[in-house]
Amino acid sequence: MAPQAKLVFVMSLLLGTTLTISSNHWITAWAGLEINTLAILPLISKSHHPRAIEAATKYFLTQAAASALVLFSSMTNAWHTGQWDITQLTHPMSCLILTSAIAIKLGLAPFHFWFPEVLQGSPLTTGLLLSTIMKLPPISLLFMTSPSLNQTLLTCMAVISTALGGWMGLNQTQIRKILAFSSISHLGWMAIIISYNPKLALLSFYLYVLMTTAVFLTLNSINTLKLSTLMTTWTKTPTLSAMLMLTLLSLAGLPPLTGFLPKWLIIQELTKQDMALTATAISLLSLLSLFFYMRLAYCATITLPPHTTNHMKQWHVNSPTNTTIAILTTMSTMLLPISPMLSTML
């Protein structure tokens, strides 16, 4: 892909994201979502491999259906109330349709089937965009419409997402699919709290983006896509493997690390809302995700394959340990001491 074309697509992504998160009118928000969808499609299919074309087709069909539902929801609300303002979503049917549409956009269960397949067919850099920047506009719409959302439906989808994100990631050997199910599980934590404390949901999203970016950049540096090649990384780049292990453990939410902070605050907030049973359920379901995070960390640092074939020996490293990965890994593991300050802000 020509650098000029890549620049146009990346700028279009930034334009669509900015347009959606800064708009008050449903039409401009919908236009931003469409610009995002059209800009990411060439980046998904740039390798011209059949799997990449399949991923781009699935992404386009899913996102087009979700955008149509967003437009239909806003038009229904405008028909009954005369309001096109995003914060004035009051019609019950419009709230229900919008909740489903944004769930499709984000990949919340039971609308999650497209996301692992699309991520598996995309390059690592495009997968990073799909897991981070492309989630920001739907999360922003959820944030702006959080008082109007159907809380029962959102809570059910959040619990199911946490369960399926952990359960379906257990038997995966492709790292991109594991990270896709990891994203589904984390989105469940964000969705369950956004109706009660939207700022906490945004904090959880920002920390998820921080940790996921560190993981994707590290995997891109060591040129690793499968568990079998991840086993050989310790002999190539022990520093990057150790950094990857720490980031994965933080993504799992283990207490000394940064990833524990959003889960801790979400459980605390759910308990304050008299939802102790729900908090217990998603805490136990997150143990499923902990298993495959531990397996990834184990493969990255401790395990070596008994018979290393030439296919598994990917001795090429894209780039040495750079400053960006080091800073992101440090932030992904050592931000827990700022939790008292964040608690007062929330």
The predicted-structure confidence for 3-35, as pLDDT tens digits, reads as follows 888 899 999 999 999 999 998 889 999 999 999
186 burial (CB, 10 Å; 0-12 / 13-18 / 19+) is buried
Locate all alpha helices (DSSP H) within 194-275, ordered by sequence.
Answer: 198-222, 227-230, 233-236, 238-252, 260-272
Contact assessment for residue 184 and residue 112, using Cβ atoms and an 8 Å cutoff: yes
Instruction: Measure the CA–CA gap between 262 and 211, rounded to whole angstroms.
Output: 12
Is the omega angle on the peptide bond into residue 110 within 30 degrees of 0, that is, cis?
yes
pLDDT at 86: 85
Give the mean model confidence (pLDDT) for residues 177-190: 93
Percent of the chain with pLDDT over 90: 50
What single-letter DSSP state applies at residue 253? T
Q: Record the pTM.
A: 0.90
Does an H or E element contain 286, and which?
helix 276-301
pLDDT interval class at 224 (50, 70, 90): confident
Look at residues 183, 195, 79, 94 and name the one whose alpha carbon lies nearest to residue 130.
Answer: 183
End-to-end C-alpha distance for the chain, whole angstroms: 44
236: tokens are: 């190539």
Q: Which residues contact 153 (CB under 8 A, 6 or more apart)?
A: 96, 99, 100
Q: Residues 47-96: pLDDT tens digits?
A: 888 899 999 999 999 999 999 999 999 999 999 888 888 888 888 899 89
**Residue whose tokens read 């780039």:** 319
Contact assessment for residue 157 and residue 97, using Cβ atoms and an 8 Å cutoff: no
pLDDT at 205: 94
Instruction: Measure the CA–CA gap between 235 and 33, rounded to whole angstroms.
Output: 43
- Coil, strand, or helix at residue 297? helix
